[in-house]
Chain A
Amino acid sequence: MDDIEEALLHLATVLRRPVVSLRPFAQMPADQLQQLTRQVDAACRHDADELAVELRRILPWPWSRRLRQSRGDGR
């Protein structure tokens, strides 16, 4: 698998979308596609973390504890 395909697969995993729907990004240089994937991943993780912090402030204790244990997708 070349760099582009690998980066595309990573982006698809981060976004939970099929690779085929992200195919237009394959025209980007591999390093830039990797950078974009890192940005998307960071933005999503940041959102999940911020949301967890905001929820912990208001949720009753047992839920708050479960939240603290959850990561990223925060199920």
Chain B
Amino acid sequence: MNTLLARAEHDKLTRVLGALPPSMADMPADVLRHLRLAVEERNSTHHRIALSGLARLTSWLPDLIVCWLVRWRLTPRVTARTITWLPSERVVALARRLPAGLIAEIAGWLDVRAARDLIRQLPQEQVVEIADALRARGDVMTLGGFVALVPDAVISAMAERIPDEGELLRIVYYMDAPERVDHIIRQLPPERVHRALMLLSDSDSRPLWPALLALVSHAGPTLQRELGELAAQQGEDVLNAIIQVAYEDQLWQDLLPVVGNLAPALQQRIVNLDSLLSPDVLRDIIAATGALDLWPVMLEVASAMDPHGRDLLAEVVAELPREMLEHIMNGAMLRPAWPLICDLLLRIPQRHDEARALLMHRCRELDETTVESLAKKWRDSGLGDLALSAA
């Protein structure tokens, strides 16, 4: 589950429904989004006859008079619900005559489909002005939904007008289409991305760190690798800050897939960071790895740990329940992580028999060559004979 995406959706739903029941905090983002859209769709059905009548009435009136009504008589909610009954060309013609501030107010009530049509047909300069008005209102959630719909040129123009990286991050955090994050980051000048990452070295910007991690976690593998390298160039403090925020805010399920996509040299730096070498942190990472079933990737990453880190990791592995140990052993089958597994087991002799039994059980499903290779690795690492005859 993407925790940060779910948190952003939780915030949006809270805005619609008020404080949510506590168990909603564990709901996946898509479930929360489904509920939010269902509530919006339900609301869009209210007073349809009156709204469609109002739309019919306005179709007989000239644009100037309708604009006067929108400015002085209709509320933003009534306007937003009425325009869904009007042809999009008429809505665009009216929008061209309205001030950006008023459209920004209406946008907060607007159905996504109506907003998409409108944004596609409005001149880019006006879309940018509306975005400015939404910013001035501090409505980052509506703006986040808005960003997902606008063309690239508008995004570039908007980014130029937002000098503060923190504000930019908050907007991206609430974006309705996180799959577009990758593309949007590429529209930004590299120095903006660089400056955003620099926020990680400023403890005053701590509230923004989750938004920054959200941005990285929504990026594609190639961009994640580039952003990882950029973060690493800022020094150990930045990397330690990332670990700190992931631990304090329980964001491992967002961060671990990112770590799995980084270059091996950077992975090696990360697994040996001081902030990572704590039993509590390692326990959380193991729990998140289990939840995401990321064992093959994470074992490969952990293979770069130095002896002190391995001691701590072995300490945590020693406490794990049998089924978790089984998952780790199975994960090691898929990647060349056996040297790490054997090394960890050497540090926890109390779990040798259990690990051997698990491995022998698994060996029944493997071909002879693989079994022999595993037995050799087991023996060579000093763990003794795997007693293959029993398998």
Q: Are A39 and B18 in contact (CB under 8 A)?
A: yes
Give the secondary structure class of B's interface: helix
Query: Which interface class (under 10, 10 to 19, 20 to 34, 35 or more) fits A?
Result: 35 or more
How distant is B94 from chain A, measured CB to nearest CB, in Å? 16
| Residue among A16, A24, A52, A55 making CB contact with B54, cutoff 8 Å | A55
How distant is A36 from chain B, measured CB to nearest CB, in Å? 5
Which residues from A are CB-within-8-Å of B17?
36, 39-40, 43
Bound-state Cα–Cα, A43 to B38, Å: 12
Q: Say whether, besides A47-B46, A48-B47, A74-B48, A58 and B23 are in contact (CB < 8 Å).
A: no
Which residues from A are CB-within-8-Å of B38?
15, 17, 21
How distant is B4 from chain A, measured CB to nearest CB, in Å? 19
Count of interface residues, chain B, beta-carbon cutoff 8 Å:
33
A19 within 8 A of B: no
Interface string of B30-65 (1 = CB under 8 A from A): 010011001100110111111101100000000000
Give the secondary structure class of A's interface: helix
Bound-state Cα–Cα, A21 to B21, Å: 20
Q: Are A15 and B42 in contact (CB under 8 A)?
A: yes
Which residues from B are CB-within-8-Å of A16?
42, 45
B78 within 8 A of A: yes
| Residue among B21, B27, B43, B69 making CB contact with A47, cutoff 8 Å | B43
A4 within 8 A of B: no
Residue of B22, B27, B42, B53 with highest tally of chain A CB at under 10 A: B42
Which residues from A are CB-within-8-Å of B78?
51, 54-55, 58
How distant is A3 from chain B, measured CB to nearest CB, in Å? 14
Q: Are B49 and A32 in contact (CB under 8 A)?
A: no
Bound-state Cα–Cα, A27 to B245, Å: 29
Which residues from A are CB-within-8-Å of B27?
24-25
Q: Are A67 and B23 in contact (CB under 8 A)?
A: no
Going nearest first, the 5 A-B pairs with the smallest beta carbon separation are A32-B21, A74-B47, A48-B46, A24-B31, A54-B75
Can you name 8 A-B residue pairings with CB atoms under 8 Å?
A: A15-B35, A27-B23, A29-B23, A40-B35, A52-B46, A57-B73, A63-B50, A75-B47
